[in-house]
Amino acid sequence: MASTNKIIELSSLIARETALINDFLVRNKLPTPSLDANALQSIPIPDSATDIKAARIAVIEACSELEALMTGPKELLKFKWTAYASVKAILRFKLDKSFPTGESTSFEAMSKFSGLSVMNVRRIVRHAIINHHFFQENTPGAITHSALTTSLASDEGMRNSLIVELDEFWPAGVKMADALEKWPNSEENNETGFALANNSNKSMYDILAEYPERGERFGRYFSQPGSTDDGIFGNYPWAEKTTMVDVGGSHGSVAIGIAERYPNMKCFVQDLPDTVAEGASRLPAELRDRVTFMAHDFLTEQPLSVDVYFFRSIFHNWADKYCIKILQNLVPALKPGARIIIHERILPGLENLTTVDARRAINLDVGMLQLLNAQQREMHEWPELFRRADSRFHYLGARQPAGAMRWIIEAEWQG
């Protein structure tokens, strides 16, 4: 019996899983997904509905693969070199804020608001409509908001994120190949696509420090509300420990969360002086005897001897040579049995390369290359990193809590 061909297999999967999602929405009296201005910003699937969440991911992955198959290699090779030009122009000239949500406008009104010509407004807006679902033009010349521009106009955090990605990250990506050619296999964070895009010989952080407005935008980008937990509070035996330090812990969200849940824990937060000063000013009064902020550069020797050294999304900002130095700087403070926890993504293996989560991890890996000459790491690279730092580190393994984005990567000091 002949096997079903791939496009039929994918289309059947899409139909089946979409029907499952639709039944869930109808059963719970939820609206059908839409990109209209008044649409929900995301499909409200509760964490408990694991089958529906899995169905949604399956549809997204299958649609992506089916689109590629139906497009074909020749068309897939065509580079979309105008892709985000219109989005960047809309943000720069605030066209999304040129008229209220729920109302309509004209190209002429948007021209008057922005100072751009009517012709340029029209071509920019229509490019964004057809490529990115920005705005809608259901009647010729009458522009209304879509769900995307409604979000941009009303959510400053989301708007700021898109500006940072287009103004800071995108130019660095364009220059990444040039940086690799100029500085082959460099591990230095000032020999990057970001440095070339800024005509500089400095690192991204040093460049942003010279431009307070850009630095402030960048800081807000990484201060977006998100899941502080991501599996770390309930999937590690904190009750068996008494002291921990969150190295590079920013304003202390993880340390505070641990202290709130585990009264036995004394927590320290280390970061740059201004960052820890801000964190200390926000610390709830009832935790001041168990959460301490201190200025510390993790590229220098660690002064604290504790049970657990915790690093969240730190190592992916640095090349191997610096990660090894970070670990070696712990050694003078380590006592036998001390644990090192690294809480971040792990690059997927070959068997998982087609998943949505894998795509995000791999995209972030290349992002680290273009910005900092840093990297995400595969599973087998973690024990090797600890071994290169010091043979007295004993790698204990890595595990990913159910539903979490990050892995809990752990080693024990046996010196």
Is residue 233 within 8 Å of 261, Cβ to Cβ?
A: yes
Is residue 249 within 8 Å of 278, Cβ to Cβ?
A: no
Collapsed DSSP state (helix, strand, coil) of residue 214: helix
- Which residues are known catalytic residues? 316
Collapsed DSSP state (helix, strand, coil) of residue 299: coil
